[in-house]
Amino acid sequence: MATRLSDVAARAGVSVKTVSNVINDYPHITAHTRAKVEAAIAALDYRPNVSARSLRKGRSDFIALAIPEMASAYFAELGAAFSRAAKKRGITVLIEQTEGESAAEQLVLDGMRGQLIDGIVFSPITSTPAKIGAAASGKPLILLGERTTGGTFDHVAVDSVQAAFDATTHLISLGRQRIAAIGVGGGGASGTGAVRRKGYRKALKAAGIAHDPALELAGTGYHRLDGAASMRELLALPEPPDAVFCFNDLLALGALRTLADAGLSVPGDVAVVGFDDIEDGRYHSPSLTTISPDKEWLAEHTVALLLERIAGSGEAERRSLTVPYTLEIRESTAG
């Protein structure tokens, strides 16, 4: 049978109320009493009924991270970083995969129907800004990624225009002239593809290179499969590219496979840059040059901000955090 509060009280020689006060961290308890109770708790391996505690303090210490795809390495690594950041603060992260489907995203916006989650971090794909803005589950919610709502929610993102500009400028600095972009169709009008294409075109323009629509491939998704297919299309062009900026690492890894199959050398024939800095790209042969968002920073700051919202402390004004990144130059551009 499970140990009860009264067992702890009996062993410590104090009242049940005193044990309860120690567990709930009430002030005005002497160090001596606290030590006695804690020793009894340890000796009996007593575990407080946390559901009951949660009800009392009105918190569960669970937060949710809703992402489109956990099998996508970037989101998997991000999820892991969130779990670590939360664990440091005594919080557990539960991850929900929406697959970018509107019903699943609506469930998130509705607050994941239940009392068990204190707050939500949400990376939307299909939900329109209007739909996100209309969400009012009453639970703190922070948005991740390109898609914003003009200030209804706190928002955390990389400056994707600048990062795409940097990635493209790196390829230009290597003397490349026909620089393709894979993934321009990702996430609709205000999504990842559109934002990163903006930075890509800006860099070309700054270098006096006209952008060629034949070199901008939308693809049908952001997976290796899509990158491999887009690269095949590019190689079939009358004038194939000498460099490719892929809007995520999975696309880049697919493109590298197509280049290997075609017997082309990387970066000799075609230089390749990705975006995300997933582990796979670091171990690949050739290793992948990529934009590396600081995922630990992202997770730390997002969790800290969410906990501030849950506690109701801090400023009321919505905040927008910009995630730092670096350009990691590796073998796929530097030989």
Query: Where along the sequence are the contacts to a copy of itself (CB under 8 A)?
Result: 47, 50-51, 54, 60, 62, 64, 69-73, 76-77, 79-80, 83-84, 87, 92-97, 99, 104, 107, 110, 112-117, 223-224, 228, 253-254, 256-257, 260-261, 279-280, 282-285
Closest separation between CB of residue 180 and a copy of itself, Å? 19
Cβ-based nearer residue to a copy of itself, 118 or 203: 118
Tell me how far, at minimum, the Cβ of 28 lies from a copy of itself, in Å: 28
Closest CA to 227 of 178, 191, 261: 261
Asked if 178 contacts 243 with a C-beta cutoff of 8 angstroms, the reply is yes
Sequential DSSP letters for 42-56: HHHT----HHHHHHH
* Closest distance of CB 33 from a copy of itself, Å: 26
257-274 burial, b if ≥16 CB within 10 A, otherwise e? bbbeeeeeebbeebbbbb
Pairing relationship of beta strands 119-122 and 154-158 according to DSSP bridges: unpaired
CB of 161 to a copy of itself, least distance (A): 27
At its nearest, how many Å lie between a copy of itself and the CB of residue 201? 29
Nearer to a copy of itself, 67 or 203 (CB): 67
Indicate the residue among 35 and 50 with the shorter CB distance to a copy of itself. Answer: 50
Residue 42's contacts (CB-CB under 8 Å, 6 or more residues apart) are none
Please choose, from the candidates 111, 145, 107, 112, the residue with its C-alpha nearest in 3D space to the C-alpha of residue 129: 145
- Smaller CB separation from a copy of itself, 97 or 169: 97
Structure tokens at 182: 């894979």
State which residue, 110 or 239, has the beta carbon closest to a copy of itself: 110
